[in-house]
Chain A
Amino acid sequence: MTMHEEIIFAGFGGQGVLFGGQLLAYTALAEEKHVTWIPSYGPEMRGGTANCTVVVSDDPIGSPVCRNPSIVITFNNPSLEKYESLIKPGGLLVVNESLIVEPPTRTDIDVVLLPATTLATELGDTKMTNMILLGALLGRRPVVAMETVQAVLLDKLGSRKAHLHELNLAALARGQEIGLAQNTEQAV
């Protein structure tokens, strides 16, 4: 069976939603997979809704959009409310527990719940929320290898942001650890 995942990152502008998706896309390219990344956002530069869809596949990609994604990361409550019901049965939902009102209720999907914003603050920078959530996704479902993500991330940050290397890697690792540890039964 060839790999084909349709992944949505959804949250507020300013939460690093689009970059989280881009990092996954760059990593997929580094692993010579087929990939598309498309953003969807309101006219505001900050604070509005921000979503992106990343399709990663072993085969050439037709549609870069989908009705029923196989994986969704929700960064905030409106995104959880919007996307929970759309995920394909057997799919994966990664939830930023810090910003939700009610936990997800579906039982036919895999769920990872983690307080990503709180964990990021504990690490020292709220901006690490996206790395923690991406780490959790990859811990649960290794669409791409964590080693490749790390290499691509350091390359993208470059020497100008060398001071952020350790923090980003720590955030990815923290998320991955939780993603690996949680199983569906625990999550629901």
Chain B
Amino acid sequence: MTIELLKGNVALAEAAIRAGVEAYFGYPITPQTELLEHMAKRMPELGRAFVQAESEVAAINMVYGAACTGVRTMTSSSSPGISLMQEGLSYIAGSEVPAVIVDIMRGGPGLGNIQPSQSDYFQVTRSAGHGDYHPIVLAPASVQEAIDLMTEAFDLADKYRHVVYVVADGLLGQMMEPAELPPMQPLRKERAGWALTGSEGREKRIITSLQLNAPDLEAVNLRLQFKLAEIRKREQRSTEMLTENVRLVVVGYGTAGRIAETAVKRAREDGMKVGLFRPITLWPFPERRLSALADQVDAFLVVEMNAGQMLDDVRLAAGGQVPVSFVGRMGGVVPVPEEIYDKIEEIYVKLPVRVR
């Protein structure tokens, strides 16, 4: 394997192919279109399914159909398109079939713009369709991590028979960076015991999210909640830098996380005891580790490319033990390390005399 200079969107597409995706359905939208274009070329070459759907609504329902047959399947879009997919996502979650969705987020609300943003945090972690569930949400911060998490997304989707998002912003989607792709995985020959494959020689199988009887639907929900509790217990992921013996921890994911990393390094050089915590799973949010950090530090600073959405989760994890501040930009404006540095400094000088 070799290290290549790869664009985020292309790397995500090729990583999905190498993870064994058998069917891709999508609709063009900036800034994720290179992903769809890569699929349009590669999937037919490999004898796999590619359909440019008539809308994101159709695309996600095609994914739902393919997922019912037990193959690895996915779609990709950007914020306004993800809004349209909420219906299908809810059916996929309710039917418990595995599917992977890539969201290359852009500025909103409405048509917004095509610049990088993280304004879908609520949408992907909280409101990815009606009903009581959270999808699994993975947030890479580099092209290499995008490749690694794309592979993992399919494994998690299969393991839990659930919706898995890989979310990045337009900057990561468009960025070129050296990275290494994994080898091609062979396609699975066997289909799962729940998959629709034709009822020849066995009892028929049904995949539905419909349960008209309230106690039956409650039972479905209890099973779903049990599954989500397991995911919450086992799949919290994060990475951190310089968080030993610090007073302030900066929390940011994806692009905002790596921009914050530069600001944190500069603050360290200037003698401030600052560290970085970068969530890799946005749901389940890495609350265990962040709560533990809340016991050891004096303050958190959240950095996002939105008005402060993950901020809520950091506050919950902090549990009122430490103050939580926020710095962010909206509408497709990407924060630069300097403005994060300024905020770090502003908070740092006001930190109370240490009592612990």
Contacts and interface: CB of A to CB of B under 8 A. Distances in A.
Contact of A62 (B176, B265, B338, B339): B265
Interface in A1-49: 22, 25-26, 29, 34-39, 43
A22 B6 CA distance: 11
Contacts of A66: 336-337
B171 A38 contact: yes
Contacts of A61: 258
B175 interface: yes
Interface string B260-283: 111101000000000000000000
Contacts of A22: 5, 176
B5 A67 contact: no
Interface residues of A, number: 19
A64 interface: yes
Contacts, number: 60
B336 A35 contact: no
A37 B337 contact: no
A68 B338 contact: yes
Contact of A29 (B3, B171, B259): B3
A63 interface: yes
Interface string B320-356: 0000000000000010111100000000000000000
A62 B261 contact: yes
A64 B8 CA distance: 13
A63 B337 CA distance: 7
A65 B338 contact: no
A67 B338 contact: yes
B135 to A, nearest CB: 27
A45 B338 CA distance: 31
Interface in B153-198: 171, 174-178
Rank and list the top 9 A-B pairs by shortest CB-CB distance, nearest first.
A62-B262, A62-B261, A63-B262, A67-B336, A37-B176, A63-B259, A38-B175, A67-B338, A63-B337
13 contacts: A22-B5, A29-B4, A37-B5, A37-B175, A37-B176, A38-B175, A43-B114, A62-B259, A62-B337, A63-B262, A64-B258, A65-B337, A66-B337
Interface of B: 3-5, 30, 114, 171, 174-178, 255, 258-263, 265, 334, 336-339
Given A38-B176, A62-B262, 9 more contacts: A35-B5, A35-B177, A36-B176, A37-B5, A38-B175, A63-B262, A64-B171, A65-B259, A67-B339
